[in-house]
Amino acid sequence: MNETPPPSATARAAVAVAISACCFGAIGVLVSLAVATGATLTVVLGYRYLIAVVVLGALLAIAREPVGPPRRALWIVLVGGGGQTLVAYLGLTALRYIPVADATFLFYTYPAWVALIAALRRTEPLTRVRVGALALSLIGIAVMIGGSTSVAGSPRGVALALGAAVVYSIYIPSIERLQQGFNSRAAALLVCVGAGAAFFVLAALDGSVSMSLHRTAWLVILVLALVSTVAAFQLFLSGLKVLGPVRTAIVSTVEPFAAALLGAWLLGQPITMATIAGGVLIIGAVVLLQRGTRG
């Protein structure tokens, strides 16, 4: 039987998860800043994952932690890296059309899609709690689309953000099964290898592979790799060990609010009342789903 952690440890874990969520929430804003210098999305993300691979590989070597069985490792590279590539590409491409706040809140509908897909596959029942959470998410989407001119006038951006959420809801159970028995840091390394390779292939296809990026772009890429990938991952895992999946998911809901504030501060994107109202409904759905889960 697991011992209950002391309140001080729980508080530290909650802070770690909240900081990690803010780091993840900064990704959209940072990518927007890099792309504004002329760099392409594909090359920015390619270098982000390349640097993360180097750092995570060094951490594994220092800790003398094994990567895992080669055949299963290859599957994580292909499936995990491919899924991560598709999610990142869809979600971050949405930023061309809608503000960071709206895109991030729309992406956070993914827990509701997870519940719906599980019900359609008959792996988990669609309980009243899950129906209520799905309804909240859909109402939140409707409020954002109906009340925000930037969202209502950009159906492509909405479709891309929601597409990223749906793909992520399929990706989560797939990567969870694949990485069983693997060290979590090793699994993250393998996913970054796959995603980095995919983005460099895409960058080669659009002819944007180059080391001659603006210094602002390089600075943003370093922050993306070190803060929003490696550090965020480590903080998230350390908090997860103490809080468990349910409380971790609830604390992580600070992410879209952090993204909204950063978008307003660094990109000058206004936060509308429709975004706030719709976002609160979507986050309410996440909390409702987690409260209805035993973890």
Q: Distances in Å between the alpha carbon of 143 and those of 135, 166, 270, 281?
A: 12, 19, 17, 9
Question: Average pLDDT, stretch 80-97?
Answer: 94
- Distance CA(279)–CA(108), nearest Å, equals 9
Q: Distances in Å between the alpha carbon of 88 and those of 42, 46, 116, 173, 257?
A: 10, 11, 22, 17, 19
Q: What is the mean pLDDT of the chain?
A: 88
Residue 109 reports pLDDT greater than 60 = yes
Residue 1's pLDDT is 45
Q: Distances in Å between the alpha carbon of 164 and those of 13, 53, 266?
A: 28, 23, 24
Amino acid symbol at 46? G
Place of tokens 């939140």: 140
Q: How many C-beta atoms lie closer than 10 Å to residue 176's C-beta?
A: 10
Give the tokens for residue 151: 């969202």
- Render 234-275 in DSSP notation, one character per residue: HHHHHHHHHHHHHHHHHHTTHHHHHHHHHHHHHS-----HHH
Cβ distance 193 to 84 under 8 Å? no
Cβ distance 46 to 196 under 8 Å? yes
Whose CA is closest to 224, among 5, 46, 40, 36? 46
pLDDT tens digits, one per residue of 90-104: 999 999 999 999 999
Residue 46 reports pLDDT greater than 90 = yes
- Burial group, residue 40, by CB count within 10 angstroms (0-12, 13-18, 19+): buried
Residue 183 reports pLDDT greater than 90 = no
pLDDT tens digits, one per residue of 216-267: 999 999 999 999 999 998 888 788 878 876 678 788 889 999 999 999 999 9
Cβ distance 185 to 236 under 8 Å? no
- Distance CA(188)–CA(184), nearest Å, equals 6
Residue 259's pLDDT is 93
Confidence class for position 295, pLDDT limits 50, 70, 90 = very low
Cβ distance 102 to 112 under 8 Å? no
Q: Residue 97 — left, alpha, or beta (φ > 0 → left; ψ -120 to 50 → alpha)? A: alpha
Residue 200's pLDDT is 96
- Distance CA(128)–CA(124), nearest Å, equals 12
pLDDT tens digits, one per residue of 112-163: 888 888 888 888 787 888 888 889 999 999 988 887 777 777 899 999 999 9
